[in-house]
Chains A and B, each alone.
Chain A
Amino acid sequence: MAQKEFAGQMIEVNEEGYFTKPEQWNQEVAGAVAREEGLELTEKHFAVLDYLRKRHFAGEALTIRSVGKSGVVDVKDFYALFPGAPLKKATKIAGIPKPTGCI
């Protein structure tokens, strides 16, 4: 298991850079991960990250659809906040596992 330094803290990550210990997450660490992804976090970003972490800890599978229906952001805004592949990016910054998209 690899370790990586974010905001002065050693974080356990997997080969794709996703946190393997979501409890190591905090706002400063999130900011540092986001900067690596080329993003400056705003309050809106944090609202989404909080939502994702809550759902994750409740054991729910995360999908773009469920985020779009959350009332926190709609899908368009979700893309605007985390451009490209929003769910992959947002979960990485939220310190939770990458959704597998069960098939």
Chain B
Amino acid sequence: MFILYLKHSIISNMKNVVILGAGTAGTLMANKLRKKLPAKTWNITVVDQERAHYYQPGFLFVPFGIYSEQDVIKPKDNFFPKGVNVIYAKIDRIIPEENKVTLENSEKILDYDFLIIATGTRIAPEETQGLLGDLWRKEIFDFYTIEGAVALAKYLETWKGGKMVVNITELPYKCPVAPLEFIFLADAYFKKKGMRDKVEISLVTPLPGVFTKPIATKMLSKVVEEKNIKVIPDYNISEVDNVNKKIIDYAGTEVEFDVLVTIPTNKGDDMIERSGLGDDLNFVPTDKFSLQAVGHPNIFVIGDAANLPTSKAGSVAHFAAEVVLENLMCAIEGKPLDAKFDGHANCYIVTSDKTGTLIDFNYDTEPLPGLYPYPVVGPFKLLTDNRMNYFGKLFFKWMYWNLLLPGRSLPVTDHMSMKGKRYPKHHVN
């Protein structure tokens, strides 16, 4: 009796951190937190609906046969540390007023002292009229899901050529450079097959040009031009005409396609909407420095699920993780939160099947040329097209599985550094 009582009191004295979503951000947070929080007093629970972990940056290479599905998938279970409870279930909703999370098809209710939302973003093709019409996954493909990337690979194997239209539906979408990388790899792929002259590639985008940040845009526009890729800017798609195979925007501009590669609207999970925690795209309004959900001091948001004014990218989740960890520890101890996120993002960009470039930026500083991560020795050159950077991209996959997910440090600083960077001559900010 006494032992039972004791056991019970220990259990009820345990505090709970619940992590929603075990993708890039949730997995690395679970690893970091388990190292930091004593197992005697803190339970850590992670919830995800899927058992497979996909290396999403690898999806880019799947349509061109560079990677297969097997190359980008591993069991999620491989990446959780000991002493973390893992629940595979669909999250129904968060009840922030009661510090509870409910699950679908389960009576189980998760109580939390602190909650970390890491449910990412998903594509929402249903937002655009006609996108899910007769041609979906027949002549209209996405490459932001494994299903889409695999279907497109099959289609391209036997495609005879024609008009390939790559369309970005609206902002924000994850990994903002991925559509550009896609067209660069497509250019290389068709060249290799000896059919580049039979393919017209165009990028149809809501942006005013190929990218937003001025110096990177200049560099990337040059690559686009050299590869003879047509750019249609300021284009906001309203519908897809499946019969006549064209897309139409709100201004009435029509673009014909033989194959349409779409980056559909990106939305946060519907669970965020059900919980009343989202903006109009189901992203969680988040303090851009402290990474707390606005109005909910015991909820932190990390990764693509947050509405932060920086890129939605795995590297951003990695850099944000230290800030969430530090601030969570402060919050637990009742101290003011002193870690501040700077919006740091770092992306290798492939510019062909042999070359790549690299950008590094944050809330305030746009991507600049220079050397990375070390001044003078690099070895990577920012905003310069070369072979070394392409290897950097491929090496990122190894780093992702072996350093990033397990919550180890990467060989770069968490806060963006100006070391080794320079503004181009004649550049006026």
- List the interface of chain A (C-beta within 8 A of B): 61, 63-66, 69, 75-76, 78-79, 83-86, 88, 100-103
Contact = CB atoms under 8 A, between A and B. Distances in A.
Contact of B280 (A69, A86, A100): A69
Given A65-B280, A66-B280, A69-B280, A103 B170 contact: no
A103 B212 contact: yes
Interface of B: 170-172, 176, 206-207, 211-213, 234, 236, 238, 250-251, 280-281, 309-311
Contact of B207 (A75, A76, A101): A101
Contacts of A79: 250-251
A102 B171 contact: yes
Contacts of B206: 64, 101
A102 B172 contact: yes
A84 B212 contact: no
B172 A103 contact: yes
Closest 10 CB pairs between A and B? Answer: A103-B176, A79-B250, A102-B309, A103-B212, A101-B171, A85-B234, A75-B250, A69-B280, A79-B251, A64-B236
Contact of A76 (B172, B213, B250, B280): B250
Contacts of B310: 102
17 contacts: A61-B309, A63-B170, A63-B171, A65-B281, A66-B280, A69-B280, A75-B250, A78-B250, A79-B251, A100-B212, A101-B212, A103-B171, A103-B172, A103-B207, A103-B211, A103-B212, A103-B213
A76 B239 CA distance: 12
Contacts of B207: 101, 103
Given A79-B251, A102-B171, 19 more contacts: A61-B309, A64-B236, A65-B170, A65-B280, A66-B280, A69-B280, A75-B238, A76-B238, A79-B250, A84-B234, A84-B251, A86-B250, A100-B212, A101-B207, A101-B212, A102-B309, A103-B176, A103-B212, A103-B213
Contacts of A61: 309
Contacts of B238: 75-76
B175 to A, nearest CB: 10
Nearest to A99: B171
Contacts of B211: 103
A50 B176 CA distance: 31
A75 B172 CA distance: 18
